[in-house]
Structure 1
């Protein structure tokens, strides 16, 4: 990315212009999605059609860091970053959310949280996520390169989609620093901006993880390899023929080293793979519209070899059958 300041704005309509129509709002949603895809990462947008949608946005970038300020009016929408989006743009970074107004519901890494003002929430753009914007929003963002985070944290994904309060302590210091950085970004030289982003990133990671998770270079290599293996598993878990040798090969690791990484993390590779498949299946069952997907469909979509194997593993993990979960998710019949 360049070091230039990029902006997207839409002036409020004049009284003579009247209320914007659905076509105007849809066009502006498309422009907004294209702007975010260029500056942060691509995603699929499912807007709810407010006719008076308005947006103002700017970003500043340098050396893989991006600071951004997005303000939306009547911006209720769902933004989904899918595996297809990830493959298309290959963006694999970490992005901090700092809401000033409004709420974002975030679903990633089997976690579902609500990000509110005076809080910090980290996402990774290398993993699928679902973001629900509930209305008017005013939010600051700090995008950090994956290498920057992996060199400082042992398990970066483990702190994603977790809300950390920013009312006091290091969290408050990180929040104030990001706000100041956004205010002053346009006036900084490239060197000043990059240095300020590094300092802000250090504070953010300290506020999100605590000093105990900050790591040395030797440990960060293993953490980075483990994170890469987990990403490969999550991206390919729908393949029922996925073998551990395939995972090791794609990561450029030996099979023995792969086993060592997961053993040190407290579980086997197979346990992690099955856990991710089961959690993905449960989410699909809970969100499926009645009749849209059967238990067998979900079983096959999540990489299980047969419905019986799937049902047994599901009941063992959650204490309930897949059919019961699907039945509870369906709206009651009138």
Structure 2
């Protein structure tokens, strides 16, 4: 699941995309951290990727990284389609190192180190295919959580000029609305009335969130539907039931909105996160070897050909 390399990428370039069973290129998000030493990373202000920091790389975006002598990287590859986050958010986070002292990165760093221990068993041997697939999904969710956390932190910094009263009001409305997402009657006027303000004032508060309160509500509902459809715990999940449970009264509208945001239908997402359990090769990590073509192919979490 996790590769340990001497810092070199395949063919001396960058992270390599594998091929899907249909022969098309499989886009990956590569997640790595130095176990020892450091790599030169020109995109960083310090010019280095050091221990205690995490780096996300999009296989479809070029990144120049040169390993220093003695550098050893722990590398985790995740198919892009497994990550529940938008391309716009991902683009803001890849190609940069992230301090793992706090937040989600502080959870991911020791996990990546633990998976990279030399005596780590194969996830399939240790837990079975079902649990190994769920572990894969949880890792993808944590990486997506890191992406959204970084984006939210930067957006909050951009909003620093707005008054604290506005921020407190927005946070209060978000908490109130999150608790009522399942109510199909949730509309801007009902939210505004519950908080003793005009609809115009409400929309003003959410201008920097997603344009309008309605779009923010739909975004949150889609996130909850995506989470439930992709939980992969073996229980049957009906798309229409999930949509209705989170306030969507029209199944066709839900499917269109889901595809527009995540690039695939709700059923395709459910299949990716649950139906791949029998078709994904989750292999034990290989250690102490350069990341050559053969090693890269053996360690990618990709559908079997």
Q: TM-score range by the shorter chain?
A: 0.3 to 0.5
- Per residue, is there more strand in 1 or in 2? 1
TM-score (norm 1): 0.38
TM-score (norm 2): 0.41
